[in-house]
Amino acid sequence: MAAEKERKEVAYTEDSIQSLDWKQHIRLRPGMYIGKLGDGSSPDDGIYVLIKEVIDNAIDEYTMGYGKSVDLSIEDKLVTVRDYGRGIPLGKVVDVVSKINTGAKYDSKAFQKAVGLNGVGTKAVNALSTFFKVSAFRDGKEKTADFSRGELVKEYKESKTDQPNGTLVSFTPDETVFKSYRFLSDFIENQLWNYAFLNAGLKINFNGKTFLSKNGLLDLLQRKTNEDELRYPIIHLTGDDIEVAISHTNDYGEDIYSFVNGQHTTQGGTHQQAFREAYVKTLRDFYKKDYDASDIRIGIVAAISVRVVEPVFESQTKTKLGSVNVDVEGPTMRQFVGDFLSKELDNFLHKNPALAEALKKRIEQSERERKELAGIKKLANERAKKANLHNRKLRDCRFHLNEDAPSRGKEEFLAKQQETTIFITEGDSASGSITKARNVETQAVFSLRGKPLNCYGLTKKVVYENEEFNLLQHALNIEEGLEGLRYNNIVIATDADVDGMHIRLLLMTFFLQFFPDLVKHEKVYVLETPLFRVRNKQETIYCYSESEKQTAMKKLGSKPEVTRFKGLGEISPDEFAQFIGSDMRKQLMRLEQGDHIQQLLEYYMGKNTPDRQDFIIQNLRFELDKVEDVVNS
């Protein structure tokens, strides 16, 4: 009755109906257009999507045969992108960046296989920037306009110029939307390398560095792997509107990089699934044996790039390709990829028998390991069900409990999916604090019992025999690979003491040893929580380092109260809510170019060596010297 009374009291009149213009809608629901906001500590944060949206237009010009280079510079927080394409038609400069559903890409003759087809990209950049400037140079004339948060500030008259044709866009992301953000060069450079690999011959200049690829996806795989970890040389195949590179390592899992019209589809889609299916079928036909699909694909490292007319993505951020034909009336994606691999890969293997034999040995190794695990997996799965995972170990988020019936539109649903996070923590007090402080809509908590096993050098058999690993694997839903992953962000949340650091290392070892594709695809993070709380009666400052603590003490003066947080359980749920919200500080677990996983694990998690002892001693001295410098200053 109370609920019914409350419903009756809610007024629903003409005043309830609102019409938002394009700027207001983008600023009200930015996640629908550029994914998660973030502070720049994650590669899929919105500030990097803004850069991508502008560069995509430059890439589309190159793809159509105009301009051979793109210049990108970032100074402080000002981003500038200059291409040397045809330049926006001068009479439409203002409309192209400020009128929704306006652009040339609706005309498939002008932009046949472009990334952005909905006329939203640069408008979103404009609306979400405090400063936005666009200049078009075309046939000796220039047209410029200035905006702020999507509002036209000044439109300049056309003037003569000696600038070469092209477009110049400068913008500063709005700090009221992207709070305390910073650009990290590593993420931007990785993005630029992808552009270079997908557009062989295009030169991209960024803050004094040049990004250029001659061999496309072959160069990409060489950059993502080490030659000594590959079981056979990279297979590189090219055709009309399709390019593929393939090899295998001894790692577990699948590591597939997929692209559509130059767009990195981090969540895959129909083209990636078509590749996975066609690859299995082609090898079964070639070897004339019905190998299990998992035996063929385990350890694969591959990249596929396709170009299609009018691609259909599942969200504005273009991270997953939907159902689409390769051409307007052409074959389906499954037919297109299947026909290409069945011909080109089959021919390649017949011409390279030694490589074909090495690939066969890798498949048969996987087959033996799978059969050895079969009985253990069945028992482990039964144990996981009996453990009542979703009640005892995992406190799930409502998003997953209701994921089959999203109550909002598809765009908003997919944006919310990007926010899904699971915290992996240890101990009742820590997990209790996070559970009480979390956003129950999108954040889940998995509680470990004690220190996990050091799994370096062990086989995947231990994942099923060890209860903690088995339950964690089921919670993440990664037994069959990355595509089933239930959470977009995996956050290791441990205490800031010696035991906590050790647990962190053991969990990192687990992911690197058995699920390296989670790390390679940048899904694993370490939660950063404050080490100190410095406060007086007027102000409280949370500090993440000794230097921040010293600065805070000087600021507050007169002997402020200083608290050292050693364990997560010492931080109250009310305080914790500040550290796992939209401003969460988390450090991405990343592999640098050339890192070899097994060598890393052997160095840090293998038997103690003089080299590792020297490394620890030298870094301890460095940290002590830093603390001493801060105290003395």
| Predicted pLDDT at 331 | 78
Same domain, 240 and 137: no
Beta strands (DSSP E) in 139-267 are: 141-148, 151-155, 159-160, 166-173, 203-206, 209-211, 235-239, 242-248, 255-260, 263-264
Contacts of 241 (CB under 8 A, 6+ apart): 113, 306, 307, 308, 326
Closest to 231 measured CA to CA, from 294, 164, 300, 185: 300
Read off the pLDDT of residues 340-367 as tens digits, 9 standing for 90 and up: 999 999 999 999 999 999 999 999 999 9
Whether the Cβ atoms of residue 579 and residue 530 lie closer than 8 Å to each other: yes
Residue 457 within a domain: yes
pTM summary value: 0.74
* List of long-range contacts for 359-367, beta carbons under 8 Å, 24+ apart: 359/231, 359/232, 359/248, 359/283, 360/287, 361/231, 362/231, 362/232, 362/248, 362/299, 363/283, 363/287, 363/291, 363/295, 363/296, 364/295, 366/294, 366/295, 366/296, 366/298, 366/299, 367/291, 367/292, 367/295
Same domain, 245 and 275: yes
Same domain, 560 and 591: no
Torsions phi, psi for 570 (to 5 deg)? -80, -15
Q: How confident is the model at residue 423 (pLDDT cuts 50, 70, 90)?
A: very high
What one-character DSSP code corresponds to residue 608?
-
Residue 620 within a domain: no
| Predicted pLDDT at 9 | 57
Same domain, 48 and 187: yes
Same domain, 490 and 360: no
Residue 275 within a domain: yes
CATH number reported for the structural domain that contains residue 585 in this entry: 3.40.50.670
Average pLDDT over residues 257-273: 84
Residue 631 within a domain: no
CA dihedral 322, 326, 327, 330 (to 10 degrees): -110
Residue 130 within a domain: yes
Residue 332: strand, helix, or coil: strand
Same domain, 246 and 394: no
Residue 126 within a domain: yes
Same domain, 201 and 262: no
Average pLDDT over residues 181-196: 91
The total of other beta-carbon atoms located within 10 Å of residue 461's CB is: 14
Dihedral sign of CA atoms 574, 576, 582, 583 in order: positive
Whether the Cβ atoms of residue 324 and residue 343 lie closer than 8 Å to each other: no
Read off the pLDDT of residues 38-81 as tens digits, 9 standing for 90 and up: 888 888 888 999 999 899 889 888 888 898 999 999 998 999 99
The total domain count for the chain is 4
Domain enclosing residue 557, as ranges: 532-564
Q: Strand order in 421-426's β-sheet?
A: 394-395, 443-448, 421-426, 489-492, 524-527, 586-588
What residue has token string 């996640």? 31
Q: Which two tokens stand for residue 247?
A: 């090899």
Looking at per-residue pLDDT, the higher value among 597 and 269 belongs to 269
- The b-or-e profile of 521-551 (16+ CB within 10 A means b, else e) is bbbbbbbbbbbbbbbeeeeebbbeebebbbb
Looking at per-residue pLDDT, the higher value among 319 and 153 belongs to 153
Residue 265: strand, helix, or coil: coil
Same domain, 261 and 118: no
Same domain, 76 and 155: yes
Same domain, 88 and 139: yes
CATH number reported for the structural domain that contains residue 205 in this entry: 3.30.565.10
